[in-house]
Amino acid sequence: DAKTTQPPSMDCAEGRAANLPCNHSTISGNEYVYWYRQIHSQGPQYIIHGLKNNETNEMASLIITEDRKSSTLILPHATLRDTAVYYCIVREAGGTSYGKLTFGQGTILTVHP
Amino acid sequence: EPEVTQTPSHQVTQMGQEVILRCVPISNHLYFYWYRQILGQKVEFLVSFYNNEISEKSEIFDDQFSVERPDGSNFTLKIRSTKLEDSAMYFCASGTVQETQYFGPGTRLLVL
């Protein structure tokens, strides 16, 4: 089962920042937080990941709380094309899980004009 | 930018028939995965493959399913004797344990 909890849906106005929360209170020390999104029925698209430091790339920023029990994905200037299901996934680095991703239901983000 | 490709994009088959779904992973990746997504449901892990053998599989991945890497580039999922409930999107992914996993566009399988 997924080890994360996300709101089922969120709305955002185009051009504004979208802040998507995720709770992962049982995360362990060697687990990363990954964010993917899925637009319609396309393959999941990698967005960003982090261990404990905040991360930023060309798509988004990831803010992880100091206790690592929650995180927020930030899309700084949402566009209509950012409408998708966003998945927060906790994934073990190395070990015996061979990196499989366990998807939950995610958050349906709808960006409005 | 390298990407995972999958063929065919759509496959329609009769119940009981065998299908082979094909994937070309990113060339320098060592781990390969298959996932599926039944319409309206979440993405589910099927199997991971490393060093020419299955490294992990889910309960879904029973004897009906098999995977292989017949050459240096392709990674296939075979479904023997398809059932109606096998209708789904099937996604291939590649990556390494330490790095990001990248997904292909998927194959939509419809079993009639």
pLDDT per residue as tens digits for the range B67-77: 999 887 899 99
Determine whether the interchain pair B48/A106 forms a contact, defined as Cβ–Cβ distance below 8 Å: no
Looking at chain A, the whole-number percentage of residues with pLDDT higher than 70 is: 93
Residues from chain B contacting residue A3 (CB–CB below 8 Å):
none
Average pLDDT over residues A14-41: 94
Give the distance from residue A36's alpha carbon to the nearest chain B alpha carbon, in angstroms. Answer: 10
User: What's the one-letter identity of residue A74?
Assistant: I
Average pLDDT over residues B26-36: 92
Average pLDDT over residues B73-95: 96
Average pLDDT over residues A78-84: 97
Q: Select the residue of B43, B48, B98 nearest A44 (Cβ to Cβ).
A: B43
Residues from chain A contacting residue B101 (CB–CB below 8 Å):
46, 99, 101
Looking at chain A, the whole-number percentage of residues with pLDDT higher than 90 is: 81
